[in-house]
Amino acid sequence: MKSSTRCLTRMLPFFLLPAILGLPVRAEDGHRLWLRYDALDDAARDPYRRSVSAVVVQGQSPAARILRDELKQGLSGLLGEPVPVSNKASSPGAVLAGTPDNSPLIASLGWEKELRRLGPEGYLIRRTEIQGRPANVIASAGESGALYGAFHFLRLIQTGQSIERLDVAERPRIARRLLNHWDNLDGSIERGYAGTSLWNWAELPGRVDGRLLDYARANASIGINGAVLNNVNARPESLSAEYLKKTAALADAFRPYGVRVYLSANVAAPKLLGDLPTADPLDPDVARWWRDKANEIYALVPDFGGFLVKANCEGQPGPQDYGRTHAEGANVLADALSPHGGVVMWRAFVYYKDDVDDDRVKRAYGEFVPLDGLFRPNVFVQAKNGPLDFQPREPFHPLFGAMPRTPLIAELQITQEYLGQSTHLVYLATMWKEFLDADTFAGGPGSEVAKIVDGALDGRETTGIAGVANTGSDRNWCGHPMAQANWYAYGRLAWDHRLTAEEIAGEWIRMTWSRDPEVVATMRKMMLDSREAFVDYTMPLGLHHLIGGDHYAPMPENDTAPRADWTAAYYHRANVQGLGFDRTRGGSGAVDQYHRPLSDLWNDPAACPEELLLWFHQRPWDARLRSGRTLWEELCHRYGKGAERVSRFEQEWRSLAGKIDEERFLAVERKIRQQASDARDWREKCVTYFQSFSRRPCPKD
């Protein structure tokens, strides 16, 4: 019996063990994420009981077993009674799931043409008839698609939607939907705020922790299909034979959930790991080393996704060390991966170690736009959502719309490096929607960033999006129970960026916390207000980088660092005349990295959106804004408004006492209390600091 239990703990997610082994469910500590499957109340579940009778999954592969277990666990939990598993759709209301290849019943429906059009990750969910009996069918051309469809079906029930007349056809709008883990080989996580790495490298490959299956399952539930396992500041040892065997063990565990693994590569690895005298990408021995390394990787991981690369930035080695371009550096890796179907994701986050720009946000555009069309077809350029560094608000990165012959991956940051880390409630879907919906005017009006990322603007099928993960070893995964919403929202937007931040928030609350209308309404309002409140009490009106080395506490006075562009003063440029960074045509000229008419709009201080005013302009303290207030008065108003909004978070959250389990309620209450205190500190510190330049009294309000 003991050996059987050990086998189960290796093969099944921890989420499923209590029900399968007859163990009591653990306390409500947030570990179950949005996959709680707690029973609906009697009135809510009656319609589903009439529509669901059994689970029918005919395949026997590892993926099919996961699909069967998920539907059984989910439906049994939500309906409050065991839902049997059958191999035949012999009773009305069977839930039949699978592919035409592994299910004769699905093959008999004649849906192959539709399923091929949707692809191996797309799916159909239909209420139809099987052998004269009503059935709920979840069908896909691929096993991953069938699993995604099952999670969609369960989500409908979790959120109280009707399944009586289902006719759903979905496919992902972006092909590669990745998490980038900045995890180090010693178990630490760069910009991680939720404990240590999920990967216990010391135990691999001999033992795969069951929690890693929980992780893969959670990703599958929101359509994430890839994970870069190690930090972009990559150690060359991650490509050693020892660590590749560990990577293979993770790949084997993730594969049935549709999650492929990728690795960050250090481009100096041929020299540091392979004992070559150089890592020059144009050296034939270096090219041979990368080919041999790719062959070694694919022998262990046949579906390996490819390499993520940070080069010639913040001290990382790169092709420019040898006088080569980013394209030449990327292409040697791409040539090694191409025979195996792998890709290179070359980050556009670049600035020289010993060379401080007059305006750092211009660097990526200047280096990469001249290389458009010179990268191999299996190379992505990976650009952050904004041109600086994941600030609370930035304009979209000008590379979106500037490289039509190169596929671009959008890099978002789920971990809240500059947005309160794991302490502040900041729902990031509103920020990501602002970015994705921004019109670049690259092909005229209607050329939104989303259409570049999903390939619609250029007719491209090679597409991708990446999110810097916020997961760690904490029981609740993300440090802050509310930060789970950002993992969830990233996956949902990566699957379909047309979803709204409000829709996603409503789904997540109902699945994770409660279906009580008051709880949903209160939490959703807090979430939707949170990002704008954070901007107001930290860096309003386009201010940015008002921090020190911890990227958390306010340090607008920071004017000393190893580099000028690591200080706050470099960016806010406050003086007795005014405030802000002049990026107009009369300043750094960064505004002209954007297409007209956008560049003309942003160049004009009277027309520029006030949310970006101090990003593009230095304005006098007495300049009048649209509110009628002066710049100084508006700055004070925004800081006060943001801090006041967070103080209301405390009241709103307390109004939910007794409607949410005590453990998670108290955990969030503690976080919000600290956030409110931090917001007051930000307000006082920044207003006092900028007043030393404005020399004006604070408005009475």
Instruction: Report helix, strand or coil for 513.
Output: coil
Tell me the H-state helices in 206-277: 211-221, 241-254, 269-272
Q: Which two tokens stand for residue 323?
A: 């006088």
**191 in Cβ contact with 415 (< 8 Å):** yes
Q: Residue 474: name the closest of 211, 210, 180, 674 by CA.
A: 211
Give me the amino acid identity at 115: L
pLDDT, average across residues 550-558:
98
148, 145, 124: which is closest to 136 by C-alpha?
Answer: 124
Residue 97: pLDDT band (50, 70, 90) is very high
Quick check: is 502 catalytic? no
CA atoms within 13 A on the CB side of 537: 30
346-351 average pLDDT score:
96
- Tokens for 670? 């503690």
Q: Which residues contact 546 (CB under 8 A, 6 or more apart)?
A: 538, 539, 554, 555, 556, 558, 568, 571, 572, 686
DSSP state at residue 481: G
Q: pTM for the full model?
A: 0.95
* Joined tokens for residue 444: 């005229």
Contact 125, 150 (CB under 8 A): no
Per-residue pLDDT tens for 579-594?
999 999 999 999 999 9
Residue 418 has phi, psi (to 5 degrees) of -110, 5
The string of DSSP codes covering 519-551 is: HHHHHHHHHHHHHHHHHHHHSGGG----B-TTS
Quote the tokens at residue 65. Answer: 């077993």
Residue 484 CA neighbour count, 13 Å, CB half: 25
Q: Active-site residue among 389, 474, 529, 532? A: 389
CA angle 676, 552, 502 (to 5 degrees): 60
Residue of 70, 328, 335, 417 marked catalytic: 417
Q: How many CA atoms lie within 13 A of 312 on its CB side?
A: 22
How would residue 27 be classed by pLDDT, with cut points 50, 70 and 90? low
Assess whether pLDDT exceeds 70 at residue 231: yes
Task: Compute the distance between CA of residue 505 and CA of residue 509 in angstroms, rounded to an integer.
Answer: 6
Residue 22 pLDDT greater than 70, yes or no:
no
Alpha carbons 284 and 213: distance in angstroms, whole number: 41
Compute the average pLDDT of residues 15-26: 45
| Average pLDDT of the chain to the nearest whole number | 95
Residues 465/410, Cβ–Cβ less than 8 Å: yes
Q: Are 166 and 136 in contact (CB under 8 A)?
A: yes
- Residue 17's pLDDT is 47
Q: Rounded to an integer, what distance in angstroms lies between the CA atom of residue 108 and that of residue 130?
A: 9
Helix (H/G/I), strand (E/B), else coil: 189:
strand
314 given a catalytic annotation: yes
Rounded Cα distance between 504 and 516, Å, is 17
Asked if 422 contacts 485 with a C-beta cutoff of 8 angstroms, the reply is no
> 88 — phi, psi (to 5°)?
-135, 145
Give me the mean pLDDT over the 100-110 stretch: 96
pLDDT of residue 352: 80
173 in Cβ contact with 496 (< 8 Å): yes
Structure tokens at 552: 């958390």
Rounded alpha-carbon distances, angstroms, from residue 9 to 526, 550, 560: 38, 39, 52
Q: Give the chain's length.
A: 701
- Using 50, 70 and 90 to split pLDDT, how confident is the model at 13? low
User: Which H or E run contains 75?
Assistant: helix 62-79
Residue 8: pLDDT above 80? no
Residues 635-646: b if buried by 16+ CB within 10 A, e if exposed: bbbbbbbbbbbb
Q: How far apart are CA 283 and CA 288, in angstroms?
A: 9
Which amino acid is located at 247 in the chain? Answer: T
Instruction: Give the CA dihedral 237, 240, 245, 251, nearest 10 degrees.
Output: 70
Of the candidates 240, 277, 247, the residue with the CA atom closest to the CA atom of residue 261: 247
Q: For residue 31, give Cα distances in angstroms to 478, 484, 565.
A: 10, 10, 39
CB-based contact 140:99 (threshold 8 Å) = yes
**Count of C-beta atoms within a 10 Å radius of residue 11:** 15
How far apart (Å, rounded) are the C-alpha atoms in residues 530 and 524?
Answer: 10
- pLDDT in the model for residue 119: 98
CA-to-CA distance for 249 and 242, rounded, in angstroms? Answer: 12
pLDDT band for 354, please (50, 70, 90 cuts). confident
Name the CA radius of gyration of the chain, rounded.
26
Cis peptide before 24 (omega within 30 of 0): no
Virtual torsion, Cα 55, 61, 67, 73, nearest 10 deg: 70
- Positive or negative, the CA dihedral 56, 62, 66, 72 is positive
Q: What is the pLDDT of residue 24?
A: 41
Q: How many whole angstroms separate alpha carbon 503 and alpha carbon 488? A: 12
DSSP element (H, E) containing 493: helix 484-495
Locate the domains of the chain by residue range: 37-170, 176-284+296-350+357-512, 536-581+618-694
Instruction: Specify the pLDDT at position 228.
Output: 98
Residues 6+ apart with CB under 8 A from 673: 650
pLDDT given for residue 3 in this prediction: 36
Average pLDDT, stretch 175-199?
Answer: 98
**Domain boundaries 37-170, corresponding CATH code:** 3.30.379.10
Contact 527, 485 (CB under 8 A): yes
| Closest residue by Cα to residue 305 from 346, 241, 261, 338 | 261
What fold is seen in the domain 536-581+618-694?
Answer: Alpha-d-glucuronidase, C-terminal Domain (3.90.1330)
Predicted local distance difference test score (pLDDT) of residue 355: 77
Q: List, for residues 425-471, the tens digit of each pLDDT value.
A: 999 999 999 999 999 999 999 999 999 999 999 999 999 999 999 99
Residue 2 confidence (pLDDT) above 90:
no
Distance from C-alpha of 454 to C-alpha of 496, rounded to nearest angstrom: 10
> Which CATH number is correct for 176-284+296-350+357-512, 3.40.718.10, 3.90.1150.10, 3.20.20.80, 3.50.50.60?
3.20.20.80
What is the per-residue pLDDT for 9? Answer: 39
The percentage of residues in the chain with a pLDDT greater than 70, rounded to a whole number, is 96
Among 242, 296, 314, 518, the one annotated catalytic: 314
